């Protein structure tokens, strides 16, 4: 079999792989990007982008139907046409995924589609849909194979009534009822969408709070908002199994009060994701007989995204750390620079996280409880959205901005925001942490009025005891 050679091969065209390919092309490196299914990966096709499209649509519907206080009166009832919503979502996805292929081609990157497996440390065999097999070899190979939803025993995603996140984004109708197993960010985002559309949603979470690991102040607010919206939240509870009654799914679950059952049109399983490292021939990626170093199912990498096998790199969800698209993108760009011979490292101070619940949650750096657990004595400035003029004018006053700083030197350790447009506001806070800013750097930076961003400035002032729009603690 003929072997086609490249300087670099990127395995996977998701939010880590395709930026790596684009940057390699820009740097003049002869590159091939191989993708199994989705150009743009899960994120663009069946994850981040389509989910935010549905979240936005559901939020708009809620805003329209509850706008009487602003003087907006409807002559009829606003409803959601799921067929049109799914069609609109599809146009957004197609525009972005088409752009990925255009950018790769424009940067002179070759593309191939099919199932690829390692047959040597830096050699892959690609099987296309028509059954033909092509062998490729490169000096550098980047593994960017992403992740997939975890399937729990007894709840097969092959069953029509059991949904993973992909199926949950593509329902053609608004279900009357839905059980969500897992109270993490994916379950609450999608569960929140259907709750707004009129679905009776029940969330079943094993832990003693929703969103495990998040600031308790944030969780209390989100919990209260969901319950107010009619979502039934079952904490310290565990799904046991289910059966199809013919008209619904009968879910059995264990609670602190005993075993219970629940009927629902669908069961959405969102208990996490696992890396796609189990079917790509990693056993053939060796160095003088030594196997590729792993950490469980994840590939171990160093500060330059290098694995234990020379010439092999890994980025994104198949490596340890947060499973976030923007983390993967940054790593893809770094690894391209490394392959091109530049002396760069993946040495960021923080990777921001965003949860698109209602209201949104965004964090950068350490949350308050994390900073205290690390032994810091902290200064905390907390400003409620209700004290921000712009929040009042948008009629969205649930939430707060919290700035956490080291009491020893006023250096900003982290920022937590829960509220409208938290996802947009957090970028300023990421920059502050990366630049090692002190509270005064933010508090003395003039923020335009009236904006939500003033809340970040005021929270920094509050941490210093200098807030002027709220009482200082």
DSSP string, 335-375: HHHHHTT-------S---EEE-SSS-EEEEE--HHHHHHTT
- Do 222 and 310 belong to one domain? no
- Specify the pLDDT at position 3: 96
- Do 116 and 199 belong to one domain? no
Residue pair 10/142 in contact (Cβ under 8 Å)? The answer is yes
- Specify the pLDDT at position 4: 98
Catalytic option among 140, 369, 421, 449: 449
- Specify the pLDDT at position 433: 98
User: What does the DSSP 8-state code read for residue 387?
Assistant: G
> Looking at the predicted structure, is the pLDDT value of residue 409 above 90?
yes
- Please state the domain count of the chain: 3
User: Is there a domain that residue 473 lies in?
Assistant: no
Sign of CA dihedral 385, 386, 389, 390: positive
- Specify the pLDDT at position 453: 98
Q: To 10 degrees, the CA torsion angle through 160, 164, 166, 168?
A: 70
Residue 247: band (very low, low, confident or very high) from pLDDT cuts 50, 70, 90: very high
User: pLDDT tens-digit profile of 270-314?
Assistant: 999 999 999 999 999 999 999 999 999 999 999 999 999 999 999
> Looking at the predicted structure, is the pLDDT value of residue 248 above 90?
yes
- Do 460 and 393 belong to one domain? yes
CB count, 10 Å around CB of 49?
Answer: 20
In percent, the amount of the chain with pLDDT more than 90 equals 98
SS3 (DSSP) at 416: strand
> Looking at the predicted structure, is the pLDDT value of residue 114 above 90?
yes
Nearest CA to 420 out of 356, 329, 325 is that of 356
335 prior amide bond cis, ω within 30 = no
pTM over 0.95, yes/no: yes
Q: What is the CATH number of the domain that holds 175?
A: 3.50.50.60
Average pLDDT score over residue span 338-343: 98
Residue pair 362/422 in contact (Cβ under 8 Å)? The answer is yes
SS3 (DSSP) at 145: coil
Residue 1: band (very low, low, confident or very high) from pLDDT cuts 50, 70, 90: confident
- Do 144 and 280 belong to one domain? yes
Q: What is the C-alpha separation between 178 and 265, in angstroms, rounded?
A: 6
- Specify the pLDDT at position 473: 81
Report the mean per-residue pLDDT for the chain. 97
Would you call 342 a catalytic residue per the annotation? no
Nearest CA to 8 out of 305, 287, 311, 309 is that of 311
Query: Of 250, 271, 292, at which residue does a domain stop?
Result: 271
- Do 7 and 121 belong to one domain? yes
Range of the domain at 427: 353-464
Average pLDDT score over residue span 203-218: 98
Residue pair 23/40 in contact (Cβ under 8 Å)? The answer is no
- Specify the pLDDT at position 271: 98
- Listed in sequence order, the residues at least 6 apart from 252 whose beta carbon sits closer than 8 Å to its beta carbon are 239, 240, 241, 242, 259, 260, 261
- Do 40 and 144 belong to one domain? yes
Query: Of 339, 367, 386, at which residue does a domain stop?
Result: 339
């Amino acid at each position: 079999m003929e072997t086609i050679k490249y300087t670099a091969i990127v395995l996977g065209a998701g939010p880590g792989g395709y930026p790596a390919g684009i940057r390699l092309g820009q740097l003049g490196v002869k590159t091939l990007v191989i993708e199994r299914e989705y150009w743009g990966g899960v994120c663009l096709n069946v994850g981040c982008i389509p989910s935010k499209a549905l979240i936005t649509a559901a939020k708009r519907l809620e805003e329209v139907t509850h706008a009487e206080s602003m003087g907006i009166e409807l002559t009829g009832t606003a409803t959601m046409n799921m067929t049109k919503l799914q069609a609109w979502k599809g146009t957004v996805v197609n525009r972005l995924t088409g752009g990925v292929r255009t950018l790769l081609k424009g940067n002179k990157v070759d593309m191939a589609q099919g199932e690829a497996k390692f047959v040597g440390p830096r050699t892959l065999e690609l099987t296309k849909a028509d059954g033909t097999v092509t062998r490729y070899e490169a000096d550098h190979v980047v593994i960017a194979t992403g992740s997939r939803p975890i399937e729990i025993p007894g709840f097969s995603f092959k069953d029509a009534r059991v949904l993973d996140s992909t199926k949950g984004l593509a329902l053609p109708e608004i279900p009357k009822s839905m059980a969500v197993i897992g109270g993490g960010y994916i379950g609450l985002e999608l569960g929140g969408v259907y709750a707004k559309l009129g679905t009776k949603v029940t969330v079943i979470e094993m832990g003693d709070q929703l969103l495990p690991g998040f600031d308790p102040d944030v969780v209390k607010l989100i919990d209260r908002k969901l319950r107010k919206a009619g979502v039934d939240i079952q904490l310290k509870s565990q799904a046991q199994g289910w059966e199809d009654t013919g008209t619904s799914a009968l879910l059995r679950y264990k609670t602190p009060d005993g075993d219970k059952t629940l009927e629902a049109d669908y069961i959405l399983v969102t208990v996490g994701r696992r890396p796609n490292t189990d079917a790509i021939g990693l056993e053939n990626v060796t160095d003088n007989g030594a196997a590729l170093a792993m950490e469980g199912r994840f590939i171990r990498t160093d500060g330059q995204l290098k694995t234990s096998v020379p010439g092999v790199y890994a980025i994104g969800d198949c490596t340890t750390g947060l499973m976030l698209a923007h983390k993967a993108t940054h790593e893809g760009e770094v690894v391209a620079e490394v392959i091109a011979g530049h002396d760069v490292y993946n040495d960021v101070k923080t990777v921001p996280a965003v949860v698109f619940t209602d209201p949104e949650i965004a964090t950068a750096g350490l949350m308050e409880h994390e900073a205290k657990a690390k032994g810091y004595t902290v200064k905390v400035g907390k400003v409620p959205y209700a004290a921000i003029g712009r929040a009042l004018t948008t009629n969205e006053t649930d939430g707060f901005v919290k700035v956490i700083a080291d009491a020893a030197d006023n250096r900003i350790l982290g920022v937590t925001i829960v509220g409208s447009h938290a996802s947009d506001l957090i970028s300023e806070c990421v920059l502050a942490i990366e630049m090692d800013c002190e509270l005064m750097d933010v508090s003395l930076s003039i923020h335009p009025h009236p904006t939500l961003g003033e809340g970040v400035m005021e929270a920094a002032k509050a941490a210093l005891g200098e807030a002027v729009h709220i009482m200082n603690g």
